Every structure is written in C-alpha cells, then in structure tokens.
Amino acid sequence: MYRSHNCGELRASHSNIEVTLSGWVQSVRDKGFMIYLDLRDRYGITQLYFDEERTPKAIMEKASKLGREFVIQVKGNVIERASKNPNIPTGDIEVLVSELNILNTSIVPPFTIEDKTDGGDDLRMKYRYLDIRRNPVKNSLIFRHKVAQAVRNYLSNEDFIEVETPYLIKSTPEGARDFVVPSRMNEGQFYALPQSPQTFKQLLMVGGMDKYFQIVKCFRDEDLRADRQPEFTQIDCEMAFVEQEDILNTFEGLTRHLLKEINGVEVEKFPRILYDDAMRLYGNDKPDIRFGMEFGELNEVTQHKDFGVFNSAELVIGIAVPGGNKFTRKEIDNLIKWVKRPQVGALGMIYSRCNDDGTFKSSVDKFYDQEDLAKWAEVTGAKAGDLVCVLSGETNKVRAQLSALRMELAEQLGLRKPNEFAPLWVMDFPLLEWDEETERYHAMHHPFTSPKPGQLELLDTNPGEVKANAYDLVLNGNEIGGGSIRIHDKATQAIMLKHLGFTEEEARAQFGFLMDAFEYGAPPHGGIAFGLDRLVAILGGQETIRDYIAFPKNNSGRDVMIDAPAPIDDEQLTELSLKLNLKS
C-alpha cells in the first residue's frame, strides 16, 4: 500500500510507530548533514526528517535530489519535533525517514504552490490542475462538496426525489442564447443544451413525482463577468399541489439549514419586500439589507428653486452615507468621478454635508438654503456627521446609478461583512417586460410563470401592469434563487404565449409537448432554482464563483487549460453536414 496514514492526521499520540506516507514535496531545507522536507497531500502537511547519523547514506543522497512537487513515498518512525510548529495540526511531530521511493518527478512548476502564490489568474487558469493543489482552491472545492451534500440531505429528508433530466434537448426562443449541438443521425437538425430543466421538471409534476430536485448543469451562451460562467450548476426543485407560501416555507428551511450546518449561523427572519418597493428603496431587485442607505425621493424638496439640473429631472433621489461627513473633498471628488464612469453613466453628483452643529454645507449652496438642506436630510434619514449624495435623471437609469453608488460606498465603509447573512424574499415581479429592440413583451422570468391570481384578464388591457406569481431569494445582495408558481393548464399557457408574440403554430412547434401534457390532469405546481455556484461562494464569504468551480472558463468563455473551444476538422464537419461561413 502507498500509505498507512495521510499527511494531516499524525499527532503526538502516534509517536514511536512506523508509518508510510505518500504525497507531493512542498519544500526542501537541506542543511547538509540533515534534511527537512514538507510532504503535502489533500489532508495536510507532515515534516519529514533525514539525519546522516540515523538515515542510510543512499536515502540521504536520494533526498538531496528531490525537488518541489516530486511525488514520493516514505517509511519511517514518528518522533517528537524538537522545534514544534503550532500553525499546523501535525506540528508536534515529524517522521524520521528510513525508506524513500520516488514515484514521479516534476519539472519546476510555473508558480509556487502556496496559499499566497506568485501566479496570476491567467497562468493559474492554464495550469488549473496545479492551482487545485493550493489550499484556497482545494478548500473551496471541498466546501462546495459539503454544501451540495447538505442540500441533498435536507431535500431527501423532506421527501424530494432526485431525478436526472436530459442534456440534449430542443432550442427555444426565450431567454439567453442556446448552445447548440448538431445531430449526425438527423441531418440538418440540432439539439440545444438546457438553460434549465424547466419544462422537464413540470412534466415530472404531471407524472406525479410530487417533489423533485436535481443538482444539474445548465448552459447559457451569454456575455460573461466575474460571477457568470457559460456552464453553471443549479439546485433545481419543483413541488406539486402547493401554493406560493408552501414553497417559501420549504426553501427558507433549506437556507436556514445551510447557514446553520455550513456557517454555524442561525437566521430566523426572512423579510419580504415587493419588487416595486425594492426598486424604489434600493434601485435593484436584489438589495443588500445588511446596511441602511435606503433611497429618499427628493423631487418635492428640490424642484422649487432655479437649479435646472433637478428641475428637468424625472427623479431626484439621495442616500445618507453614515459618517460620510468625514470624507475629504478629494474623496468626494473621487466619488463623483466614480459615478461618471461609463459603467455607471451618471452626469454628476450633488452632495450635502451634515455638520455636527446641525448646519449643512452643500455643493449647490447657491440655490438651496439651510432649510432646504434640512429637508434633504429628513427625507434621506441623514443625521449629524453623515453625507447626503444626490443623483438625478430618468427614473430607471438614476435608480440603477444610485444603487451602484450605494454598493460602492458600502464596500468602502466595510458594511458588507462576509460573516453576516441577511436573506430577503423579493415578491411580485412584473410578469412581462417591454423590449425596445424587438418592440414586444418578453417574460421577465420564463413563459411558464403564472400571473398573480385574478390578474389574467389584465393581459388584454394592460399587460405591463400584470404581476407574476414569482419570487426571488436574495442573500447579501445576490440573487441565490428564483422561482414561481407555474401555469398548469393549456388555455392559460396559450394566452401567455400569445402575449409573448407566438402564433398558434409557433407555440405548437415549440411547446406542444408541454401543452399536450397539461390536458392529462396536470396538478397545480411551482418551484425554485438556486444557483449553486453563487450560493457556495456567498456561504464561503466570497462573491466571485470561479474558485468554487474545479475547471472554470475565463471571461471570454475559454478553457485556457485544454484550449477549448477549438476548431474541428473537415471530416467531422462533413459528417455533421456543416459548412463554415466565417466572418473575415
């Protein structure tokens, strides 16, 4: 056998026993007459000791030639260390080596396999198999496993059944772009990789499975950023014979279980907020409520003077920055530059300092007196020592701009603490959203989302006002889950598809299988899908998901390690009946 123990388990209680260890050489300290070597595996590090007085000469010579990341096997006796290392669990002992076997050599790695490495992101992505040896990545993958196991245990105990659904499915026009797969056996036809198992989980409810879940890969061909990958993992769930409250209670339970099991944190309150209120108070539909800085609408207290910027604005809004009066003029100027960045797009920012003596000093003192500025403070909830930041413009744009500023200020002030968790349900989303490019409505969630009870008739008269029976679960400013009560009858589904611009023929071609199933006694049903990658990252105290994925893609959707995507040869193209028409 290659090992009797792993490199993380030996303690002082193992002293004077012979052990066999295998692993990678982390470091070598050669003193000439003695050699110290750190041996590493997934479980930890054990110090090996070679002493010319007690170690055979041939073993000493072989040890002197070892390099970083060599794979070796050793036998020896566990002894007490003369100089103990309290920073590692095995720090009280070392192994006096009597046998050494080199299992494999290694060239010098392109970056150091240490917690703090000298390798940049691109280099570590190219050699991801080496990066995984580092504790931060290794521990992230182990952490992900623990979360997934906790999810499976909870849902299984709640009578959910894990069912696999197909990866090769049919392309549909809703949502992001599909990844498509040509079919060799069906010339000129294509599969699509699923953006979610949405229709299949609904069919499982028609099939009587009652409670389904799946930890499943999903695929979307969309522009990428730090928290987005072309392939990602969902905790996909569906329940039959349920109303919205049943689903919220079930998955509040799952979230509480994860926070307790994984983080040792007990969270009782899951506040609920309407979508419209979230947009009004925070400027986005996934607000971070670990801190305040709610928006105050200032039209009534700003649009009565000769300041044209505010008078011409559709909306004037502000936030009170706690302790912000301590910001220097340079720091405030930097905030103004920050909101003017193309990524934010504001034309500028007005501010008012709330002085400790109850007076105010603003960047528009020419137009507003102390009484006016006191009203700004009242509306935004500012107190002495705070700073009021004000933006103005078109309603939707300025809310998004102030939301971005709110989050940036929270980062600067240390208000987004990774060890604090504040879940929140956002409810009653619009069922449809208007797309200026296509000049038609699109489903805000997906075309199988049910409207709120009693609002179906509004689709004919005022479709933009119809609310969806939908809900998102937000944690620390990130959407971690979203779902809805589904449409479960053919007539309502046909109405919904009609309002999304489908002809009867198009609806039949795309979703006929689902509508047919609804004619065979489909039960009322609904569900939710959690983004596992993001959920794991947040539970782990991060917001970027890359380190919690074993082999992630870069921001161009490439796997730089295996160099994919890649061209295929002409023979494969012919076999698949494909012809390239590349843009020069």
Q: Is 220 annotated as a binding residue?
A: yes
Q: Which residues of 157-187 are buried (b: 16+ CB within 10 A; e: fewer)?
A: eeebeebebeeebbebebbeebbeebeeeee
197 found inside a domain: yes
pLDDT at 226: 64
62 found inside a domain: yes
561 found inside a domain: no
Q: Is 457 annotated as a binding residue?
A: no
Same domain, 295 and 409: yes
Q: Is 486 annotated as a binding residue?
A: yes
pLDDT at 439: 75
Q: Is 274 annotated as a binding residue?
A: no
Same domain, 385 and 321: yes
Q: Which residues of 493-525 are buried (b: 16+ CB within 10 A; e: fewer)?
A: bbbbbebbebeeeebeebbeebbebbeeebebb
Mean pLDDT by 10 residues, the chain (584 residues): 97 97 97 95 97 94 96 97 95 97 98 94 96 96 98 98 97 81 94 95 97 97 81 97 97 98 95 97 97 97 95 97 97 97 96 97 96 98 98 97 98 95 96 82 88 89 91 96 96 90 90 94 97 96 91 92 95 93 80
Q: Is 41 annotated as a binding residue?
A: no
Same domain, 57 and 177: no
Give the CATH number, domain containing residue 466.
3.30.930.10
pLDDT at 144: 98
Question: What is the number of structural domains in the chain?
Answer: 3
379 found inside a domain: yes
Last residue of a domain, one of 416, 448, 481: 416
263 found inside a domain: yes
Gyration radius of the chain's alpha carbons = 30
pLDDT at 545: 92
130 found inside a domain: no
Q: Is 532 annotated as a binding residue?
A: yes
Six token digits for residue 350? 């007005």
pLDDT at 405: 98
Q: d(Cα 71, Cα 42) in Å, to the nearest integer?
A: 13
Helix (H) / strand (E) element for 335: namely: helix 329-340
**Tell me, what DSSP letter sits at residue 457?**
T
Q: Is 479 annotated as a binding residue?
A: yes
**Tell me, what DSSP letter sits at residue 285?**
S
Last residue of a domain, one of 104, 126, 159: 104
Q: Which of 544, 569, 581 is nearest to 226 (CA)?
A: 544
Same domain, 226 and 151: yes
Same domain, 311 and 392: yes
Last residue of a domain, one of 104, 130, 162: 104
Give the CATH number, domain containing residue 27.
2.40.50.140
Same domain, 313 and 438: no
Q: Is 221 annotated as a binding residue?
A: yes
pLDDT at 224: 73
**What is the secondary structure of 86-102 as a DSSP string?**
TTSTTTTEEEEEEEEEE
Q: Is 144 annotated as a binding residue?
A: no
Domain that residue 448 falls in: 139-272+424-548
**To 5 degrees, how large is the angle CA 209–CA 212–CA 217?**
135
Same domain, 446 and 375: no
Give the CATH number, domain containing residue 371.
3.30.1360.30
391 found inside a domain: yes
Helices (H), 420-503: 458-461, 490-499
Same domain, 435 and 359: no
Q: Is 455 annotated as a binding residue?
A: no
578 found inside a domain: no
